[in-house]
Chains A and B, each alone.
Chain A
């Protein structure tokens, strides 16, 4: 296992409101939405790491920072051991690509497919750009001569997402952030794209960060998984282990609330809603919804600690720390 990306107490705060001069003079304090709050992740080379959480958990914000599209408020990102700062940005950027959730919005409808992919090569492409366009389009299972002259608006959702993947591949990256790449696709097309991603990873040795809210997809595609809740990582480990034996109460409840195809499937609904990030609850952020919460959970925030091979942020597991 070779480490490729690592973060150290990564934070991203967004200003909740813009204060006027009078408000500033009156001494009103600026409030922040803590979208990502003190997050440490490690992504290994040629592994797929799934980042799972509900909306507002900070998974997309974290993904955007790792894709160098957003700057952290504080904390550090290391890429192959090199700290990502303004000097290193140029050299790192072409090794990192991102595929967005909605292929209906992420491709310019007026550009031809060839132009869309060629654009990604303007800075980092070699001499044979046309050849490279052809190569990546064929790699994602599209027929170059049928498709290169067409516009994104003429393609179906599955085809568009293949083009988006081809565009990400064009500049020869090492690391691809996939932000819910199959959520906008139909069930029968989703499995085609998942299979393609697995095959490309094998073929080109990519490292993926796969952001999703779909637990079944996360289980299928990933080697390792991070579960986020309200801007924090609550559990992390090998996917197989986390899915067969979840530790954190949130992970457990999240899995029970996913509908399945089992004949005896029942839904266990979690109570309450995700907390406001403006005013997160004191202590553990999950405590108001947690069926196991006790006094300490409401006062003291649990830190992430190692239990076996697993990281978990829960007071219930502190005595099991090894």
Chain B
């Protein structure tokens, strides 16, 4: 497998009235062609910032350092004009709020035709309205929307959240991107609709061999959707590796805590495990390991020095408990 996206030392700052705030710190990760990676983190972990940094859609206050290699080109140093050719047909993003991702005053069909036109123009092909509409209909059928011909004549506000998210996915398919970044695509949807959208994304990803980066706060969703899981905490990669390994045998104390605090059973049997404290604010991060103030295993060194990324059994882990830093290892 080849890496379709290589992130090296990605660091993102936001300019604020209180000075620069660092929200991503030295993120390094490779995403292989055709695999699904779930990026899991709580609010303020930098997971959405990562998605926006890859598509270079950060607000003007965002400052990006490091490199993001896509098809041999560095997206970080790429001029805006060239970036427009990467967005859509190279990397496509599905946003959390389906209603804000379509133009409210244009009919759905027109917006989808526009996607076909953009793809064809970029490839130097001739755009033909008739065959393009047929293609749009076919894709709307692929995403299991009932009556595609009627859907095409509707405005976004006339559709439900689940339907719009499908229209956006259909648009992604029409653009034939190499990578789809989905930022909490199901958080605004009901469970039954969430299951439909996840099943659809998985099915299409396998069919077309796209790389899917699925940003979510829910480990259970990550479990059913992904091949690999990347855990973010306070803008740092804490653990990254094979899904099965991470869910069954988590190494980082934060991942362990998240998994243990997942509700299961009944209150009559046991109290739920809960991590002490709360996710830190970027304005007052702990010195040393950013998780040290909540970590049940933290020792002296954790409070003074930030651990680097270690390779433990093929998994990336940022923790002093691994790699022989301490003799009596926990877990």
Give the interface of A toward B (CB within 8 A): 48, 54-55, 156-159, 186-192, 194-195, 198, 213-217, 219-221, 239-240, 253-254, 256-263, 265-271, 273-274
A220, A240, A266: which contacts B263 (Cβ < 8 A)?
A220
In the bound complex, CA of A266 to CA of B258 (Å) = 21
Q: Is the CB of A54 within 8 A of B43?
A: no
Query: Residue of A at shortest CB range from B194?
Result: A257
Which B residues lie at the A interface, using CB under 8 A?
A: 42-43, 160, 162-163, 190-196, 198-199, 217-221, 223-225, 244, 247-248, 257-259, 261-267, 271-275, 278-279, 294
| Shortest CB distance A117–B (Å) | 21
Nearest chain-A residue to B271 (Cβ)?
A: A195
Question: In the complex, are the beta carbons of B266 and A267 less than 8 A apart?
Answer: no
Answer whether A188 and B275 are a contact pair too, CB < 8 Å, given A260-B223, A261-B223.
Answer: yes
Shortest beta-carbon distance, B232 to chain A, in Å? Answer: 13
- State the CA gap A16–B193 with chains docked (Å): 25
Q: Which residues of B contact A271 (CB under 8 A)?
A: 196
- When chains A and B are docked, how far (Å) is the Cα of A88 from the Cα of B247? 53
Give the one of A213, A214, A257, A268 with max B CB within 10 A. A257
Please name all residues of chain A whose beta carbon is closer than 8 Å to the beta carbon of B272 when the two chains form the complex. Answer: 191, 194-195, 220
Asked whether, in the complex, the Cβ of B279 is within 8 Å of the Cβ of A220, the reply is: no
**Number of residue pairs A-B, CB distance < 8 angstroms:** 134
A190 cross-chain contacts in B, Cβ below 8 A:
261, 263
Do the beta carbons of B196 and A270 come within 8 Å of each other? yes
Q: Which chain A residues border B279 with CB–CB below 8 Å? A: 156, 186, 188-189
Q: Are B261 and A270 in contact (CB under 8 A)?
A: no
Query: Are A260 and B220 closer than 8 Å at their CB atoms?
Result: yes
In the bound complex, what is the Cα–Cα distance between A159 and B225 (angstroms)? Answer: 32
Known: A198-B271, A259-B218. A187 touches B192 (CB 8 A): no
CA distance A254 to B193 in the complex (A): 10
- Chain B residues near A257 (CB-CB < 8 A): 191-192, 194-195
What residue of chain B has the Cβ atom nearest to residue A289's Cβ? Answer: B192
Closest to B277 in A: A188
Please tell me which one of the listed residues A186, A216, A261, A266 contacts residue B217 in the complex, with CB atoms under 8 A apart. A186
- A192 B192 Cβ-Cβ under 8 A: no
CB of A137, distance to nearest CB on chain B (Å): 17
27 contacts between A and B (CB under 8 A): A159-B278, A187-B261, A187-B262, A188-B258, A188-B279, A189-B279, A190-B263, A191-B261, A194-B267, A215-B191, A216-B262, A217-B263, A219-B265, A220-B264, A220-B265, A253-B192, A256-B195, A258-B191, A259-B220, A260-B220, A261-B219, A261-B262, A263-B248, A269-B198, A270-B192, A270-B196, A274-B192
Q: How far is the CA of A191 from the CA of B221 in the complex (A)?
A: 18
